[in-house]
Amino acid sequence: MNVKNELLLRLYVVMLFFILTAGVIGYQLVKISVIEGDKWRKKGTDDYRKYRPIEAERGTIFSADGMPLAVSQPFFDIAVDPCQSKPNDFKANVDSLAYFLAKHFQKGKTPQAIASTLKKMRAEGKRYFVVARGATFHDLEKAQSLPLLKLGRYGGGLLYDVQHNNRMRPYKSLAARTIGVYRENNPIGIEKSFDGFLTGESGKKLWQKLNDGDWVPVNDMEAIAPKRGDDIYTTIDVEIQDFAEKTLMQTISKYQAAYGTIIVMEVKTGAIRAIANLGKSSDGYDEIYNYAVGTAQEPGSTMKLATAMALLEDHGADLNTPVRLDGGKTQFYGEWMYDSHPHGIQTATMLDAFAISSNIGMARLADQFYNNKERSEQFINRLQQFGLNARTNIEIPGEVSPFIKNAFDYEAGWSKTSIPWMAHGYELKVTPLQMLTFYNAVANKGIKMQPYLVSRIEDEHGVVKSFGPKAFKQPIANLVTIEKAHKMLEEVMRTGTGKELQSNLVQMAAKTGTSKVGYFHKGQSPDYIASIAGFFPSNDPVYSCIVVIGQPKGAYYGSSVAGPAFKAIAEKCYLRRIAPGDVVNVGNMPSSTQITLPRSSVGYKDDYKAILKTLALEYQDETSSDWILLEGGRVPMEMKRRFVDFEKVPDVIGMGARDASYLMERCGLRVRIEGAGKVVQQSLRPGINARGQMVQLKLG
Q: How far is CA 566 from CA 256, 499, 506, 537, 557, in A?
A: 18, 13, 12, 12, 13
- pLDDT the model gives residue 586: 46
Residue 454 phi, psi dihedral angles, 5° rounding:
-125, 130
- pLDDT the model gives residue 244: 95
8 Å CB contact between 546 and 529 = no
For CA atoms 242, 246, 251, 253, give the dihedral sign: positive
* Three-state secondary structure call for residue 68: strand
The three-state DSSP-derived secondary structure of 611-655 is HHHHCCCCEEECCCCCEEEEECCCCCEEEEECCCCCCCCCCCCCC
Q: b vs e for 344-362, b when ≥16 Cβ sit within 10 Å of the residue's Cβ?
A: ebeebbbbbbbbbbbbbbb
Provide CB contacts within 8 A for 565, sequence distance 6+. Answer: 247, 248, 250, 251, 262, 547, 549
pLDDT < 70 positions in the chain: 1-4, 31-49, 52, 162-164, 183-186, 205, 207, 210-223, 518-525, 577-600, 622, 624, 631-635, 641-643, 690-692
**Cβ of 372: how many Cβ atoms within 10 Å?**
11
- pLDDT the model gives residue 581: 43
Rounded Cα distance between 257 and 251, Å, is: 8
H/E element holding 510?
Answer: strand 509-517
Rounded Cα distance between 361 and 365, Å, is: 6
Cis peptide leading into 636, omega within 30 of 0?
yes
- pLDDT the model gives residue 417: 93
Look up residue 221 and give its DSSP letter: G
Residue 319 phi, psi dihedral angles, 5° rounding:
-60, -35
* Three-state secondary structure call for residue 168: strand
Which among 238, 105, 265 is positioned nearest to 174, based on CA atoms?
238
Strands (E), 333-382: 335-338, 347-349
Look up residue 35 and give its DSSP letter: I
Indicate the residue type of 310.
A
Q: 184-209: per-residue pLDDT in tens?
A: 666 788 988 998 898 888 777 676 77
**DSSP state string for 10-24:** HHHHHHHHHHHHHHH
- pLDDT the model gives residue 10: 74
Rounded Cα distance between 530 and 559, Å, is: 8
8 Å CB contact between 66 and 679 = no
8 Å CB contact between 569 and 545 = yes
For residue 257, the Cα-to-chain-centroid distance in whole angstroms is 26
Which among 504, 512, 501, 564 is positioned nearest to 534, based on CA atoms?
512
8 Å CB contact between 369 and 375 = yes
Report the phi/psi class of residue 688: left, alpha or beta, with left for phi > 0 and alpha for psi in -120 to 50.
beta
Rounded Cα distance between 686 and 697, Å, is: 12
- pLDDT the model gives residue 502: 93
- pLDDT the model gives residue 520: 53
Q: How far is CA 658 from CA 275, 350, 498, 603, 662, in A?
A: 37, 65, 53, 9, 6
Q: How do strand 619-621 and strand 637-641 relate by DSSP bridges?
A: parallel
For residue 549, the Cα-to-chain-centroid distance in whole angstroms is 23
- Which residues are registered as beta bridge partners of 77? 161
Cis peptide leading into 322, omega within 30 of 0?
no
- pLDDT the model gives residue 647: 74
- pLDDT the model gives residue 572: 92
Rounded Cα distance between 530 and 547, Å, is: 8
- Which residues are registered as beta bridge partners of 601? 630
List alpha helices for 495-623, DSSP H. Answer: 558-561, 563-576, 605-614
- Which residues are registered as beta bridge partners of 456? 233, 466
- pLDDT the model gives residue 157: 85
* Three-state secondary structure call for residue 653: coil
8 Å CB contact between 255 and 280 = no
Rounded Cα distance between 532 and 567, Å, is: 10
Rounded Cα distance between 604 and 624, Å, is: 12
Provide CB contacts within 8 A for 79, sequence distance 6+. Answer: 128, 129, 130, 131, 159, 160, 216
Indicate the residue type of 411.
E
Rounded Cα distance between 135 and 401, Å, is: 46
